Structure formats: structure tokens, C-alpha cells
Structure 1
């Protein structure tokens, strides 16, 4: 399929996991993709797999100067932006009573401040028909032990989409949330641990962990005109975890 032919996309957290899988799927469907992430070596490895229709910009979504540099590059090279996947995120466990200001600050800086300014700074480059996709999580809907700060950030992301859909009335730009369930990524395995994560996958009605490519397929749908009557919505790719 070439649903994204000629379109320009930005994927934050695009060097690995769901971000990389989404960048790959966008390219397969015809887009030119900018991947953005903190670690240059990870970006370089990703570019080697993505090919000529990808470009990497190193930086952090929590650093506003880095975001300015990202969008200055997009504007200079492509002129405008059609698809923005605000995917960069971080997480760590801390139970109530053990949460520190540093734990709170780190996670909110990336998952809330980072999403907000990724979108706000990219918006001037977007035109009618553009699609903004925010990566949410099943944890925004469910109570999760020791994961309240991360979960709160994802609940904030869900309301960003609801509120921004109102702010974007009349622009022709859509904004939706894509919420994965337990998906096999290096970050998730590092945070949760492989055995615990496999056990979580087994609790889903489908009975396994998701693959990043499965979430990427949903991202491509939200990026394309096939989802043209969707805004302010949340799409779950979670094996049924938060649904039943």
C-alpha cells in the first residue's frame, strides 16, 4: 500500500521499539520519516535498517532547543509536516511512599512536557489533512501497582487528545491516541523484566505479548486518510488487556 505516498512524518523515540517499527511502516507506505531520539548510536543503527527515506535528528523531547532544531531541519528540507507521532516516553517503578521528586520530574518531563512541546512546536508546519498521533498506554485506563506516576502521565496524554481535538477545530488537523498494551520492546523488558512481562502478556485475552509491528500497523492507519473521521479518539492495540 502507498497510503502515505509523498508525506513527511516525524517520529519521536524513533530509534527503537514501537517508534522504529512505525517509522519502518510509514516508509513502506510511501512517507519520508524523520526519527528523533537521545542516543546517536541507536539512531545510526535504525537508519541502517530504514534506508534512504529516513533522516535522524539527535535530541531530547524534554529539551525545547532540541525540538526547535528538529523542526528547523524538517522545515529547511521538506517545508511542511503531514504526520507527527509523539512516541518518546520513559517509565520506572515506585510505589506510593517511595516516590521522589526526581522520579516524578523525570517521567513528567518526557511523557507530558515532552509530548506537549513536541506537538506545539511542530504544529506550525502542519497543514489540513495532517495527523497527530500520541502514544498512550493501557496504564492510563487501569490501576497498576508501583506505576502511578507513569500511569498519570498517560492519562494526561489521553486528555491532551480530547482537548486538542477541540483546539484544532476548523484546521483539518486530527489528533488521536494510540495505546499499546504489553508489547515486546527493549524499554519495556528493561523496566518490567522479561519473565514478569511474559506473564503479563499471558493474561491478555490473546494470550501473548504484542509485537511492535502490530502497533505500527495501527499507527499507519491513524496517519492515513483511512482514519479521516477520527479525532480525539483512543485506539487500543493491547490484546484485549484493558478491554475485558
Structure 2
């Protein structure tokens, strides 16, 4: 694998990748070999979110016992495996068809918000994506957006998505996102934690290349048991860093 490819991707990094794909897994299942866990139904999403919050709580307790504010201040042998949570089409998590789904959406929104508010210090990071992210999806999406510092907005067809993605930052960013011409694929408006926005262009990665990367670095995927135990077990035993699953 080329060196520049390694630098630009998550697959070769020593992290756990966790997926949420309510399209029945058709988007993320192609990369399952590199994923530690993949949820493809509402029930699975709720179970996986509960597991993530349990892991976050355990890491929080470890940091408190060790007298540090985040996992990056822990000794190497005690540092947990970072987790990157990949959510494909965030709108699907917030759409409801009946009362039972409404309760599930409320629980999902609460769990995602907790992770967004607290997770970064404990090595749990959210990457949320969607074609449509509007305020009509409910207050849970708006509250979640407020906790997300980094934004990437590609060319949009409806102003509501641009407003929901960038509207709490700079009005000029909205104009820039809506003025991206169709003949410039990959161009986006991006923001960082400082609130400033820039125009940038992403490189194209084909589905085939992404699948090949997932397979090539499948050995880097830790099991869920390793994720849950990392850091916690070493605080008690003093052992070395765990090896990722072969």
C-alpha cells in the first residue's frame, strides 16, 4: 500500500472502527472486515450505543483514578484503543413511523448526544454523514449539531441542509456551499473547532479501493472485547498494550 495512502486513511491506524448503517448494511458491510462492529437495525444501533456508553464510562473512571483529564495523558500501557464511530445517513436514525420508533429515536438521540459531549476525551470520536440533515428531523439533530465542531458540506440542492450543517457558524459559509458548481465534484466548505470556514477539495476514492483497503488492513481490527478491556485491564494488571486481532 502506498505511503501517502496510509497517511490519508483510517484503515491502517491502530483504532477500532464502528459502523451504523440503517440501509440494511448495504453501504458499510463492504468494509466489514475492518470494522469492529456494525449495526444495521434500530435495535442493533441502540445496543451498540449502549455498549459505547459503557466503554466511555469505564474509561472515564480510569482517567479519574489515574488523575488525568483524557486518555492521551495516560501511560502508553494504560491507554485504551481509540474508537471512531461512522454513521452513514444520520437522518435514518431520526426518522419515525410510529410511536415505538419515536421512543427508539429519543433513546438514540440521547445516546449520540452523550457520546458527542463526552466521548472525545475518552477516545471515542463521531463521524456523522448524510445527504439530508434538516431541522425537521427534530431537536435531537439540532442539539447534536451543536456538539460537532468539524463540519464538511459538499454541494447541496436544498438550502435547509446547508443551514442545518453550517447555519450556526458564518452566513458567508452558507453562500459558499450553495454556490459550488456541479462541475467541481469533491469541493466542499469545511470548518474546524475555531469556527472558521474554508473551501477544500477531497480526493476521489473508489468503492473498489476502499474495499481493498478494508481487506488489506483487516488484521488491524480489534475485537469488541479488546476495545472494552483496553486500558481498564492494564490499570489492574500492569500488563503491556493489547495486540490487535489478527
Scaled by the length of structure 2, the TM-score of the pair is 0.37
- Which protein has greater RCO, CA pairs closer than 8 Å, 6+ apart? 2
Larger Rg: 2
Scaled by the length of structure 1, the TM-score of the pair is 0.37
